[in-house]
Amino acid sequence: MKKSQGFTAVELIISLVVIGLLAAVSAVPFANIARRNALDATATAIATALRQARAQTLASVGSDQYGVKIDGDRYTLFKGAVFSSSTPSNSTFMFSSYVSASSTQNVFVFKKVTGNAVTSGMIEAYLRGSPSTKKVIMVESTGLANIK
């Protein structure tokens, strides 16, 4: 009787195929988690920028108003009553490659003294390729920004 000394080539191939299938099946949920985390982070960043613009306006930083401009792949925190791309103090932040945004208003500016929004509206941050997976940021007339 001959003693077995390790694995046969067939056993190794079957093991590698099983490991490959398990890896492929588990990779999809991890990719979805990363995409959802990017969406959550983007919605939080937009809401934070809106709150920052309102706070800077209320604090009369530079005796000016502040606002946030929303584009499909970025947002810009800016100084002034109207957005100008040539303002050197603008801070632009790009979204993750997984996320896009749309809004009822593309510019949100806050009023001095009250902090009220000049225009209220809604911003939707959503996953590219899956627009039904989204986070909604509401900008109320009072200037408060909340994620729904």
Per-residue CA distances from 11 to 14, 24, 33 (Å) = 5, 20, 34
Per-residue confidence (pLDDT) for residue 135, from 0 to 100: 97
pLDDT of residue 140: 97
The DSSP symbol for 1 reads -
Within 5-73, residue ranges assigned H as helices are 9-58
Q: Which domain holds residue 39?
A: 10-147
Q: Which residue has the tokens 């490659």?
A: 97
Q: Is residue 1 part of a domain?
A: no
Q: Return the SS3 of 48.
A: helix
Look at residue 21 and tell me whether its pLDDT is greater than 90.
Answer: no
State what percent of residues in the chain have pLDDT above 70: 96
Q: Is there a domain that residue 72 lies in?
A: yes
Q: Which residue has the higher pLDDT, 107 or 9?
A: 107
Q: What pLDDT is attached to residue 4? A: 64
Phi and psi (nearest 5°) for 122? -130, 140
Cα dist. 93→1, 13, 64, 86, 141 in Å?
Answer: 71, 48, 21, 16, 24
Domain with residue 101: its CATH number is: 3.55.40.10
- Paired with 66 in beta bridges are 79
Q: What is the pLDDT of residue 123?
A: 98
**Does residue 2 fall inside a structural domain?**
no
pLDDT at 72 over 90: yes
Say yes or no to pLDDT of 7 above 80: no
Residue 120 lies in a domain: yes
Q: In the chain, how many domains are there?
A: 1
Using pLDDT thresholds of 50, 70 and 90, give the confidence band for residue 1: low
Confidence of residue 3 (pLDDT cuts 50, 70, 90): low
Residue 48 lies inside a defined structural domain of this protein = yes
Write down the pLDDT at residue 2: 63
